[in-house]
Structure 1
Amino acid sequence: MEISKVINNNVVLTHDDQGKELVVMGRGLAFKKRPGDQVDTGLVEKTFVLEGEGVSAKLAELLADVSEKYLVLSEKIMTMAAMKLGVKLDDYLYVALTDHLSFAITRYKQGIKLQNALAWEIKKYYRKEYQTALEALTIIEEETGIMMDENEAASIAMHLVNSQVSGEGLESITKVVTTVNDILTIVKYHFNVTLDEESMNYERFLTHLRFFAWRLMKKEQTVEEQTDDFFYQQVERQYPQAFECSGKIAVYIQKELNWTLSKDERIYLTLHIHRVTSRHAMQHSPRG
């Protein structure tokens, strides 16, 4: 096998005899190697076959900043999940779950635990995925020694829902795509920006929107909890542009889909919008 790209000292991109792209991993596998060199098969410890378009490029981008140990952890979780759920999982889950685990585990080590605003809905409407995610927490604890709470299970379940190749009807898929595109258009026009579709922040935003849109299509009503009004008002004051934008989205959803955005959903959407647009603003601001 010939190396097509060196990701780091332990990971390279290559191809098999059928031309399929592979991510190959092993300690010191790429040390002093360049594209065109042969892979030392004796050093190969893990091989990932990636069939999804653009997945290998995204994974290469991610592994430039994130340890490959999180990819190995993701692969263990995905193998278990595919067996438990009895479904094919999209290859992009390698990227999404590796990124998520890296961020979440780092947060936990720092003592930072986040609430998942959609935890109740995930637990109720995606029971199999949620139960599978609870088993994923056991794998994470066995591998890292870190015990995560049910909010993290809900987040992992959300990734499992998004990654399933489930044979949904064409009409539902079309509605989801249209809704996501319309929301993205509202954000772009509100901020008068072209979002960086290659960035990880954009991918995270897209993941949230897809999950959100599927819930709309399936008419999964949100349970309105006693949202902390102080927090809601704080988000409105701290992120006025993003909050105003989420208001436009709320109007669109009410008009087109007859859905009233809850305060929790409005907060969550505002934070996602702020994240994806503030990163864009930083990247395009003039440097002194």
Structure 2
Amino acid sequence: MFRIKKILNINVVLAEEDGQEYIVFGKGVGYHQKINNLLPNSSVVKKFIPVNDSRKIEMIQSLNKIPPIYIDITTKIVEYAEKVLRESLLSSVYYSLTDHLYFAVQRYNSHQALGNRIYWEMKTYYPEMFDIGEYGLNVIKETLKISLPKEEAANIAFHIINASTKSSDKVNILDVTQIWNRH
């Protein structure tokens, strides 16, 4: 069981288990909770161990700013991706994708178009991952009632590829990164 150390929002808490601190994600894990409450393992969707204290502080500050709906959106995308890919993704995707989606929506709302220089490559060479990205755009549209640019599907796909535990995807992502850097 986890002992709650800090409630970041209704879906994310900082918790401790066996002397190790975790950032814990789960639907409603922080709802009506108090510091030092015990959190059953069954309510935890993912747990993430920050690499060092400075990274933990950065993540906590970032997650404190992000509305919980973005964690819900990320959870839907990740669960769908894991089902489609038939693999568990690295838990770090919950933080990185949530953070990315939040800022993508902020950019959209402030009319800042960044585009994506690897859109075509992602769509062509990673069609399954790109489809997951498109699924993510649909979740965002249904949840937030906004339509992000289609290029954002490639960005979501990039996060899914990075979180994949399959070694072949890790090797291929280096190719995509090199293509991206050449442009």
Same fold (TM over 0.5): yes
Selected match of 1:48 from 30, 33, 45: 45
**After superposition, where does 1:133-282 map in structure 2 within 5 Å?**
133-168=133-168, 211=173, 213-215=174-176, 261=182, 265=183
Give the strand-richer structure, 1 or 2.
2
Pick which of 51-60 and 159-168 moved more: 51-60
Q: Are 2:88 and 1:88 aligned? A: yes
Q: 1:20 to 1:93 in 2, by over 3 A?
A: same
Q: Taking every aligned residue pair, what percent have the same amino acid on both sides?
A: 25
Q: Which residue of 2 aligns with 1:13?
A: 14
Rounded to whole Å, the distance in 1 between the matches of 2:8 and 2:51 is 19
Q: Which residue of 1 aligns with 2:123?
A: 123
Rounded to whole Å, the distance in 1 between the matches of 2:39 and 2:116 is 44
Q: Which residue of 2 aligns with 1:282?
A: none
Rounded to whole Å, the distance in 1 between the matches of 2:50 and 2:39 is 26
Rounded to whole Å, the distance in 1 between the matches of 2:46 and 2:20 is 11
| Letter paired with 1:139 | V
Rounded to whole Å, the distance in 1 between the matches of 2:88 and 2:175 is 18
Partner of 2:138: helix, strand, or coil? helix
Unpaired runs of at least 5, structure 1: 177-210, 223-249, 251-260, 266-288
Offset at residue 51 of structure 1 (A)? 5.2
Partner of 2:151: helix, strand, or coil? helix
RMSD over equivalenced CA pairs, Å: 3.3
Rounded to whole Å, the distance in 2 between the matches of 1:163 and 1:106 is 23
Selected match of 2:30 from 26, 29, 41: 26
Offset at residue 28 of structure 1 (A)? 4.5
- Structure showing greater relative contact order (alpha-carbon pairs closer than 8 Å, 6 or more residues apart): 2
Q: Which residue of 2 aligns with 1:62?
A: 62
Q: Which residue of 2 aligns with 1:38?
A: 37
Contact 1:13–1:22 under 8 Å retained in 2: yes
Q: 1:19 to 1:164 in 2, by over 3 A?
A: same
Rounded to whole Å, the distance in 2 between the matches of 1:52 and 1:26 is 18
TM-score (norm 2): 0.76
Q: 1:157 to 1:40 in 2, by over 3 A?
A: closer
Partner of 2:14: helix, strand, or coil? strand
| Letter paired with 1:90 | L
Offset at residue 108 of structure 1 (A)? 1.8
Offset at residue 16 of structure 1 (A)? 5.3
Partner of 1:12: helix, strand, or coil? strand
Partner of 2:87: helix, strand, or coil? coil
Rounded to whole Å, the distance in 2 between the matches of 1:106 and 1:79 is 24
Offset at residue 142 of structure 1 (A)? 1.1
Rounded to whole Å, the distance in 1 between the matches of 2:104 and 2:177 is 27
Offset at residue 47 of structure 1 (A)? 2.9
Structure with the greater alpha carbon radius of gyration: 1
Q: Are 2:80 and 1:76 aligned? A: no
Offset at residue 134 of structure 1 (A)? 0.7
